[in-house]
Amino acid sequence: MLHLILAALLLVQSSKDVASSPLREANEAAQEDWITKVLHYMESNPETLEELMSKDYAVLEGDILLLNDRNAVESVWPSGEIPFTISPESESRTEVILSAMEMVSEHTCVSFHRRTSESSYLTFFTGKGCASYVGLIGGEQPVFVGAQCMLGNIVHEILHALGFHHEHTRSDRDQYITVLQQNIMDGKERNFRKQSGETFDLEYNAASIMHYGGGFFSDNGLPTIVSKEEVMNMGQRKKMMDSDVQGVRLLYSCGTL
């Protein structure tokens, strides 16, 4: 499916090219090279599959959906109680979605329940990848969990929905990692911009489930992020680290462990 979508985009772009034949051929070759890179990357890194081909959502940092109102204020969910629904096309993924919720709530005071009449709630949809808004936005709030989004990817998106940005965008990140801008795919530089936000004085953790891997959005196969300390599992999506748990507990006033 991804190959067909990208091929269609290439055909549309080519039909608009009214330049000379040599220039058109050069443009097509460049586009084919770009498509090959994107396909390879998307297949290798399902978290960054997000809604790249969707015109309905703007995406930041690879998997963060943006509101049309850029001045909108993010907020947490009242009392840490999150209503949810699962769309009919995603029902086959119910077990893994519920397991992801369980991982988030196991050591925190955040809880999830099936929506009854609540006006604000999460709905899990099958998308082209994994993506979520950050924090409570009000109304039906989509979380996209494509076929390649595994347990840890879904946990990652749920944490976005709870209000967390990526760890590698912390304002103090330069003390702990180096971002290699020259290796980042064209147009994806903003995925690595620092974000202002509450860190709760928690230690930076490159092994956080919210951290990018070292090769995320690499244009040339070389690292885009290098840790200044040895980290064996940067970008892991296996489990929430203690710092992830503590972050949720502090944001939702659960108290410390």
Q: Is 156 annotated as a binding residue?
A: yes
- Active-site position among 47, 51, 61, 157: 157
Mapping DSSP onto H, E and C, the string for the chain reads: CHHHHHHHHHHHHHHHCCCCHHHHHHHHHHHHHHHHHHHHHHHHCHHHHCCCCCCCCEEECCCEEECCCCCCCCECCHHHEEEEEECHHHHHHHHHHHHHHHHHHCCCCCEEEECCCCCCEEEEECCCCEEECCCECCCEEEEEECCCCCHHHHHHHHHHHHCCCCHHHCCCHHHCEEECHHHECCCCHHHHCCCCCCCCCCCCCCCCCCCCCCCCCECCCCCCEEECCCCCCCCCCCCCCHHHHHHHHHHCCCCCC
**Is 167 a residue of the active site?**
no
Answer yes or no: are the C-beta atoms of 142 and 123 closer than 8 Å.
Answer: yes
Q: Is 3 annotated as a binding residue?
A: no
Q: From the annotation, which residues make up the binding site?
A: 156, 160, 166
Q: Where in the sequence numbering do the catalytic residues fall?
A: 157
Q: From the annotation, which residues make up the binding site for Zn(2+)?
A: 156, 160, 166
